[in-house]
Structure 1
């Protein structure tokens, strides 16, 4: 089953933590760039139209309601924006996973989309 990360109640509902209270690992600028690239480059597993305004500045677009995955974890498209622009911390277990992958995103062929089980 995919592990949800980077989903916050402000966009995804009450069962998720608030982006304002989220605790995780703070990144230095070099690693932040690698993580943001990873988040933004993984395949879309659920495409959803529309845009989502930033929780911190509703004049900014944070992303779309689409969901991305690396085959193990799943996150909303907005997560890359929040890590990049708002310096939101990254879940420590997810960061460990990204580091183990050496920040290399999987290509579509590496993910068995038909076998994916969603956590909801």
Structure 2
């Protein structure tokens, strides 16, 4: 399973290898298609729904609702707050994920129930 936005500052107990800092992924400029990219991220299938309030790790005065929830497009897993960080702080996505989003014309593909159930097991490692 490929992951995006599972940064060490965000508090989950398990991280992809090697661990990555969100500070190393803050871009200077927004993506020209940031609105469409964040819409794609927001429209992912919800695998794990966390009803929480997270502090913005780059601007602690801001709060994010349900930030640690986990979404998928069937291939990638990401935290729900990833779209917030892309939109607000220009956090960069893995180039492979960004290419996939654009190739799919910003539309989440259909994913079967069995695949989503299998992905939920993977997602649990990053949610708690």
TM-score (norm 1): 0.82
C-alpha displacement of 1:13: 4.8
Separation in 1, partners of 2:7, 2:64: 13
Quote the Cα distance in structure 1 between the aligned partners of 2:72 and 2:99.
16
SS at the partner of 1:62?
Answer: strand
Selected match of 2:44 from 18, 42, 45: 42
Task: Check the 8 A contact 1:42/1:107 in 2, yes or no.
Answer: no
For the residue of structure 1 that corresponds to 2:64, the secondary structure is strand
Alignment of 1:60-79 (within 5 A): 60-63=62-65, 64-79=67-82
Aligned to 1:17: 20
Cα drift, residue 97 of structure 1: 1.0
**How far is 1:105 from its partner?**
1.8
Q: CA deviation at 1:23?
A: 7.1
1:51 aligns with 53
1:99 to 93, 102, 109: 102
Contact 2:47-2:71 within 8 A present in 1 as well: yes
Any gaps of 5 or more consecutive residues in structure 2? none
Q: CA RMSD in A?
A: 2.5
CA contact (8 A) 1:43 1:107 kept: no
Length, aligned pairs only: 117
Query: What displacement does 1:114 show?
Result: 2.5
Normalized per residue, the structure richer in helix is 2
